[in-house]
Amino acid sequence: MNLALLLPVALAALGALLLPLLVHLARRSEQRPTDFAALRWLRQKPRPRHRIRFDERWLLVLRLLLLALIALWLARPVLQGGASERPWMVVLPGVDAETLRRDADGRAELRWLAPGFPTLDTPAPRGRVPMASLLRELDADLPSGATLTVVVPAWFDGADAERPRLSRTLDWRIVERPAPIPERVAVIAPEALVIRHAADRRDAARYLRAAVESGWSEPAVKTRLSVGPPEQPLPVDARALVWLASGDLPAPIREWIANGGVALLDARVRVDPAVAMTPYWSDAGAVLVEGGAWGRGRVLRLTRPLQPAAMPQLLEPAFPARLRSLFAPPEPAPARVMARDYAPQAGAAAYPRAPRDLQPGLALVIALVLVLERWWATRRRRSAAP
């Protein structure tokens, strides 16, 4: 444990210690001589030498201490080292914590592997936890000499795409638990596809209708298709729209997209420049569809007309599947892993230990000394008031 100063030049403020000394010397109890008539004719004798003395010594000590503490506070003192190397055991939610408490070492710090690292005495946190991020945070906060034990179930959710790499070797304990009940995967019917086209885009709408009827729907479920002119209102449950018209989008369509809709726009539709467009569909190096986020929804735009001469992909067998993938929500990354395949690796660079800042505690001491100095300076039983 070492005390260090991040700004040692601030100790020059200790020169202010001369001020209380000078004030107490200048304002000590004064002795004013009084001349008597009978003593005026007596022979003057040399005055005795007076030693330097201070009145209100304890008040002077308090003021000197206050200035010294302020100078030390300005130097930003920190405490390096001294962190407890007590062993830690963290438990991922899903493990029986009561059994671990009975069998764990009494010296170990028992915590949940969850944000904030709550103690095992609290209820188990709910929901998925970012396990890899929490392990890296714990690895950075614990001293290098502290041992770390991680207790996990045989499988868990919340894993990253790669195994975490830490600066220490930890004890990775796997606890068996019942196999998960397979989740029922509901068969969701494809949402209604809405096509709104101008009169000169009727042929393009036919290609889209043929793609939906031939390869968009599952055999057991037929996709509801709504085709009409731009003036026709959108169905209430519409979530996928193809807009084949030139010019600006009408205000209701813009609002519908911002509220969560996905729209595929004609190449000659003007899009808000604030929308950051990125390629969504490329073929042989050419971008066919670009898109970006618009509020809570997405906007997609063709880069060429929906005609076989300009876009031969319309006649390919994979076009219906490609069209449907444009409206599909992004799939979440897989996060469920087996614990034996996700044991953290060692070898990462150790994190530098952040020193403990002593300024907050020192500020409290300064406030207490200031209160004591003011009380002593204003008390009634004082011989003088320096």
Integer Cα distance of 166 and 178 in angstroms: 29
Tokens of 275: 């929308």
Helix, strand, or coil here: 274? coil
Give the residue ranges of the chain where pLDDT is below 70: 1, 27-55, 80-84, 99, 102-106, 177-192, 215-223, 330-335, 351-354, 380-386
pLDDT per residue over 228-238, tens digit each? 999 998 888 88
Integer Cα distance of 294 and 258 in angstroms: 6
Domain extents in the chain: 88-181+337-346, 193-316
pTM of the predicted model over 0.85: no
Integer Cα distance of 86 and 218 in angstroms: 59
Q: What kind and span of H or E run contains 266? A: none
Q: Which residues of 130-158 are buried (b: 16+ CB within 10 A; e: fewer)?
A: bbbebbbebbeebeeebbbbbbbbebbbb
User: Which residue's structure tokens are 């220490």?
Assistant: 168
Tokens of 284: 């042989």
Q: In 3D, which of 197, 191, 135 has the Cα closest to residue 168?
A: 135
Q: In 3D, which of 246, 236, 159 has the Cα closest to residue 192?
A: 236
Contact (Cβ atoms closer than 8 angstroms) between residue 223 and residue 324: no
Please name the amino acid found at residue 355.
P
- Which DSSP string corresponds to 96-141? -HHHHHHHS-TTSEEEESSTT--BTTSPPPPS---HHHHHHHHHHH
Region for residue 94 given its phi and psi (left: phi exceeds 0; alpha: psi -120 to 50; beta: otherwise): left
Tokens of 245: 């018209």
User: Which residue's structure tokens are 């444009």?
Assistant: 326
Integer Cα distance of 96 and 99 in angstroms: 6
Integer Cα distance of 149 and 154 in angstroms: 15
Integer Cα distance of 44 and 51 in angstroms: 21
- List residues bridging with 41 in a β-sheet: none
- List residues bridging with 225 in a β-sheet: 193
Strands (E), the chain: 2-5, 77-80, 88-91, 109-112, 148-153, 155-156, 165-166, 171-175, 193-197, 225-228, 240-244, 247-248, 262-265, 269-270, 278-283, 286-294, 297-302, 337-338, 345-346, 356-357
Q: In 3D, which of 231, 214, 198, 230 has the Cα closest to residue 305?
A: 198
Helix, strand, or coil here: 359? helix
